[in-house]
Structure 1
Amino acid sequence: MKKALAKRDEQIKSIKALIKEKNVRFILLQIADILGSVKSTTLPVSQIDKIINNEVMFDGSSIDGFARIEESDMYLHPDLSTFIILPWQTHNGYTTARMICDVYMPNGEPFEGCPRYVLKRALEKAESMGFTFHVGPEPEFYMFNVDEKGNPVLENNDKAGYFDMAPLDKGEDVREAITIALEGFGFEVEAAHHECGPGQHEIDFKYADALTTADNIMTFRYVVKKIADDFGLFASFMPKPVEGIAGSGMHLNMSLFNNEKNIFFDENKENGLSDETMYFIGGLLKNVKGFTAITNPLINSYKRLVSGFEAPVNIAWSEKNRSPLIRIPAKRGLSTRVELRNPDPSCNPYLALATALTAGLDGIENRISPPEPVNKNIYKMCLEERQENHIEALPKSLYEAIAELSKNEVVKEALGNHVTNKFISAKLGEWEEYVAKVHKWEIERYLRAY
Structure 2
Amino acid sequence: MTVAPAPSAATQSLASLAKADGVRFLLATFTTLTGKPCAKLVPVEAADALEGDGVGFAGYAAGAMGQLPRDPDVVAVPDLRSYTPLTFLRPGLGLVHCDPYVEGRPYAYGPRVILRTLAERAAAEGTALVSGAELEYFLLRKDGATGELVTADRLDDAAQPCYDARGLTRMYEHLTAVSDAMVELGWGPYASDHEDGNGQFEQNFHHADVLTTADRVVTLRYIVQVLAEQRGMTATFMPKPFTDRTGNGLHLHLSLWDGERALFPRELIEDPYGMGLSPTAYAFTAGLLAHAPAMHALIAPTVNSYKRSGATTTASGATWAPREATWGGNDRTHLIRVPDAHRVELRGGDGSASSYLASAAALGAGLDGVRRNLDPGAPGATSGPALPRTLLDAVHALEEDAVMRGVLDAVDQEAGVSAYYARLKREEFYSWHNTVTSWEVDRYLTAV
Same fold by TM (over 0.5)?
Answer: yes
Are the counterparts in 1 of residues 289 and 384 from structure 2 also a CA contact under 8 Å?
A: no
Deviation, 1:152, is: 6.3
The amino acid across from 1:431 in the alignment is F
Are the counterparts in 1 of residues 139 and 152 from structure 2 also a CA contact under 8 Å?
A: yes
Partner of 2:34: 35
Partner of 2:297: 293
Counterpart selection for 2:443 from 442, 445, 450: 445
Distance 1:20 1:401, change over 3 A: closer
CA deviations over 1:38-89 (Å, ceiling 9, x no partner): 0000122221221111242222221223222232223221101122221326
Mapped pair 1:100 → 2:94: no
Are the counterparts in 2 of residues 318 and 373 from structure 1 also a CA contact under 8 Å?
A: yes
Partner of 2:316: none
CA deviations over 1:141-199 (Å, ceiling 9, x no partner): 11112345997613452225111112675323211111112223332112111011110
Work out the CA distance in 2 between the residues paired with 1:391 and 1:291. Answer: 14
Partner of 1:368: 374
Are the counterparts in 2 of residues 283 and 368 from structure 1 also a CA contact under 8 Å?
A: yes
The amino acid across from 1:103 in the alignment is P
User: Which is worse superposed, 346-355 or 62-71?
Assistant: 62-71
Partner of 1:314: 324
Partner of 1:230: 230
Alignment partner of 1:221: what SS? Answer: helix
Distance 1:111 1:84, change over 3 A: same
- Structure 1: give runs of 5+ residues left out of the alignment: 1-6, 376-388
Are the counterparts in 2 of residues 31 and 100 from structure 1 also a CA contact under 8 Å?
A: yes
Aligned pairs for 1:48-67 (under 5 A) are: 48-66=47-65, 67=67
Distance 1:149 1:255, change over 3 A: farther
Are the counterparts in 1 of residues 10 and 80 from structure 2 also a CA contact under 8 Å?
A: no
Work out the CA distance in 1 between the residues paired with 2:89 and 2:325. Answer: 47
Aligned pairs for 1:340-359 (under 5 A) are: 340-359=346-365
Are the counterparts in 2 of residues 169 and 194 from structure 1 also a CA contact under 8 Å?
A: no
CA deviations over 1:102-147 (Å, ceiling 9, x no partner): 11122x2111111111001111221132111000111111111234
The amino acid across from 2:105 in the alignment is E
The amino acid across from 1:440 in the alignment is S
Partner of 1:196: 196
The amino acid across from 1:366 in the alignment is R
CA deviations over 1:231-287 (Å, ceiling 9, x no partner): 111110001101111111111110000111110111324432100111111111111
Alignment partner of 1:34: what SS? Answer: coil
Work out the CA distance in 1 between the residues paired with 2:261 and 2:190. Answer: 22
Distance 1:53 1:392, change over 3 A: closer
Are the counterparts in 1 of residues 250 and 353 from structure 2 also a CA contact under 8 Å?
A: no
| Larger helix share, 1 or 2 | 1
- Structure 2: give runs of 5+ residues left out of the alignment: 1-7, 314-318, 410-414
Work out the CA distance in 2 between the residues paired with 1:146 and 1:238. Answer: 16
Aligned pairs for 1:64-103 (under 5 A) are: 64-66=63-65, 67-88=67-88, 90=90, 94-103=91-100
Mapped pair 1:430 → 2:428: yes
Counterpart selection for 2:394 from 379, 401, 404: 401
User: Which is worse superposed, 168-177 or 142-151?
Assistant: 142-151
Work out the CA distance in 1 between the residues paired with 2:349 and 2:267. Answer: 30
Distance 1:17 1:438, change over 3 A: closer
The amino acid across from 1:176 in the alignment is T
* Aligned residue-pair number: 421
Deviation, 1:318, is: 0.5
Distance 1:18 1:370, change over 3 A: closer
Partner of 2:3: none
Distance 1:285 1:317, change over 3 A: same
Are the counterparts in 2 of residues 166 and 172 from structure 1 also a CA contact under 8 Å?
A: no
The alignment yields a C-alpha RMSD, in angstroms, of 2.1
User: Which is worse superposed, 272-281 or 165-174?
Assistant: 165-174
